[in-house]
A and B are shown apart, each in its own frame.
Chain A
C-alpha cells in the first residue's frame, strides 16, 4: 500500500501509544504482585516491591490453585479432543459426501451457532441436574465441550483437498474412517492446531458455565478459583494480582509458542 511519510509517522505514533496503553495494565499487574498492600497504591509502577514472592506463596496456601489449574487443563483437554473429533467427522461428511439429509443437517449446525450458551444456561442446568451431573466433572466439562465452529473451519480446509486422494484410497480398499484419520487428517495438521488452540482458549476462559454448575471447591476451574479468591480477600490486592499473574501465565506461554495459530483462530472465528 503506497503511503506518504506523514502517514507512516501517524501510524507509528498511533501504534506506540496503543502499545503503551496495552502494556500498562499488564505491567501494573506484574509489579503489584510483588508489592505489599502498603506499597501497591503508593509506590511508582516500576519500583521493586518488598513482598518478594510472599503474595504468591500466601495465596497458594489459602486456596488450592494448582488443583484449579489441573481442573482447567482437564476441561480444556477434553474439549479439544471432543471438538477435533466431532468436528473432523462432521466436516468430512459435509465436505465430501452428498446425501439427501445433508442440507437438513447443515441447517442444524447453522442454527446451533446462533444459540449462545448465555441464553440456555437455565435449561442446561436443569438437564445436567436431571442427569445427576451437578458437581461432577461430566457436568462441568461435557455440556460446553464441543465448539461447533470447528466444523466450519475443518470443512473449509477439507473442501480444498482434491477428491482424487480420497478416490485413490477407496480403490485401494481403505475404509472411510481410515481415509479420514490416516489420509485427510495428516494433510491438515495446521487446521487441527488452529481448532485446538481456539477451543483450548475458549474453555480455558469459560466462566459462566463452571460458575453455575459447580459449588464444590475441588471442582473449580482456574477462572472460578481466581474470582472466588478475589471475592473473599478483597483487600489483599498483592495476592489478587499474584493470582491474576498465575492465571495468565499458561496462556502467555501457550500464546508465545503458538502465536500464528491464535491469530488464525481469531480470524477463522470471525469469518467462519
Chain B
C-alpha cells in the first residue's frame, strides 16, 4: 500500500488526485511540450509558411557557425547578459543591505524603489528612449558636466550601452526584493553570536551574511541570467535591433528571421540554441533547489 501513508481514510480515492492534475498537464502538453518538440521538427526543415516543409536534416545547425547574423547575435546576447546580470545583482544586493539598515519607514523606501519593477515594460522603454534622445535630458547632463552630447541610440557603440543602462533601472528593484527576503531570513542569533565573538563590519559581511546568503545569490544569478536571455521588448521597441544590428539580441533575431523573412527552419534552429542555453541554466537552478531542500 503506497497510499494512505500519512493516515488518509480508506475512502480516499487516489484516482481523484490524478484527475485533478490532468487539466494543467493537458495545457502544458498542448501549449508547451508539443510546441518545443515541434520546434525541433521545424528546425530540420526548410519552411516558409507558403509551401510544404522540406526535410533538410541538420543543415540549419551545420550552417550556424558560418551564419554571421547568428554569431553576431550570440555575442550581443552574451554581452547583454553579462553586462546586465553582474551590475544589477551587485546594485540590488547593496540596496537590499541598505534597506536592512533603516529601522523607520523601511516600507516607504521599499515601495519607492520597487516602482520600476511594476512599471509596464513598454512605458519603461518609451521613457528611456526619450531620455536617451540626442536632445534629451541625459545629454543635457553630459554637456552640463562639460562633455560632448552622445548619439546614444544612433551609434552602434553607444546603443547597446543605452539598452544595458535602462535594463539596470528596470531590473534592480526586483532582485533587491529577493535579496531583502534573503537578508531577513537570516536568524538574528547568527549576528548576536558574531557580535559576542567581536566580529565587526566587513567581518560580519564576510563570515555571516555572505555564507548565509549563498543560496539566494545563486538563485538570483540563475534568474537574472534566464531573464536576460529572454529579453525582447527593450531591443525591439527602443532600437529594433539597430543601429547596424548592434542590439540584435537572440530573441529579436528569431522574431525577424521567422516573422519578417519567413525562414522558419533557420529561426527554429536559433530557437533550439536559445532553449538549450536557458535549459542548461534552469537545470542549474533545480540543482540549487534540491541542494537546499535536501
Contacts and interface: CB of A to CB of B under 8 A. Distances in A.
Interface residues of A, number: 103
A207 B251 CA distance: 12
A119 B21 contact: no
Interface in A118-163: 118-127, 142-144, 146, 148, 151, 163
B122 A207 contact: yes
Contacts of B289: 272
Contact of B14 (A99, A124, A170): A99
Interface in B131-168: 131, 133, 135-137
B149 to A, nearest CB: 12
Binding site of B, secondary structure by majority: helix, strand, loop or mixed?
Answer: helix
A118 B253 CA distance: 11
B245 interface: no
A224 to B, nearest CB: 8
Given A15-B109, A222-B122, A241-B127, 10 more contacts: A15-B113, A22-B113, A108-B29, A112-B28, A119-B271, A123-B39, A123-B42, A163-B6, A205-B122, A263-B114
A18 B95 contact: yes
Contact of A120 (B36, B111, B178, B204): B36
A90 B23 CA distance: 8
B126 interface: yes
B130 A19 contact: no
Q: Which 10 A-B pairs have the closest CB atoms?
A: A97-B17, A11-B101, A123-B38, A90-B24, A119-B275, A93-B20, A123-B35, A11-B98, A93-B21, A114-B282
Contact of B39 (A94, A110, A119, A259): A119
A14 interface: yes
A217 interface: no
Residue of A23, A226, A247, A266 ringed by the most chain B CB atoms within 10 A? A266
B23 A120 contact: no
B232 A118 contact: yes
Given A146-B27, A266-B174, A244 B126 contact: yes
A4 B18 contact: no
B246 interface: no
Contacts of B35: 115, 120, 123-124, 127
B115 A22 contact: yes
B113 A18 contact: yes
Interface in A18-76: 18-19, 21-23, 25-26, 28-29, 32, 40-41, 45
Interface in B219-234: 219-220, 223, 226, 229-230, 232-233
Interface string B187-201: 010010001000011
A97 B14 contact: yes
A114 B120 contact: no
Binding site of A, secondary structure by majority: helix, strand, loop or mixed?
Answer: helix
Given A99-B18, A109-B24, A143 B31 contact: yes
B69 interface: no
B253 to A, nearest CB: 11
B264 A122 contact: yes
B131 A223 contact: no
A207 B16 contact: no
A167 B236 CA distance: 54
Contacts of B63: none
A97 B20 contact: yes
A176 B14 CA distance: 10
A86 B115 CA distance: 30
Contact of B268 (A7, A101, A122): A122
B21 A90 contact: yes
Interface of A: 1-4, 7-8, 10-12, 14-15, 18-19, 21-23, 25-26, 28-29, 32, 40-41, 45, 85-87, 89-90, 92-94, 96-102, 105, 108-127, 142-144, 146, 148, 151, 163, 167, 170-171, 176, 180, 201, 204-205, 207-208, 211-212, 222-223, 226-227, 230, 237, 240-241, 243-245, 247-248, 251-252, 255, 259, 262-263, 266-267, 270-272
B131 A205 contact: no
Contacts of B29: 108
B286 interface: yes
Residue of B13, B24, B110, B125 ringed by the most chain A CB atoms within 10 A? B24
Contacts of B17: 92-93, 96-99, 102
A171 B9 contact: yes
Interface string B1-40: 0111111110111111111110111011101111110110
B88 interface: no
Interface stretch (B54-62, B79-87, B254-262): B254-262
A4 B201 contact: yes
Contacts of B117: 266
B121 A205 contact: yes
B251 A259 contact: no
Contacts of A93: 17-21
A32 B130 contact: yes
A243 B122 CA distance: 10
B66 to A, nearest CB: 22
Contacts of A267: 177-178, 181
B274 A118 contact: yes
Contact of A25 (B2, B99, B102, B127): B127
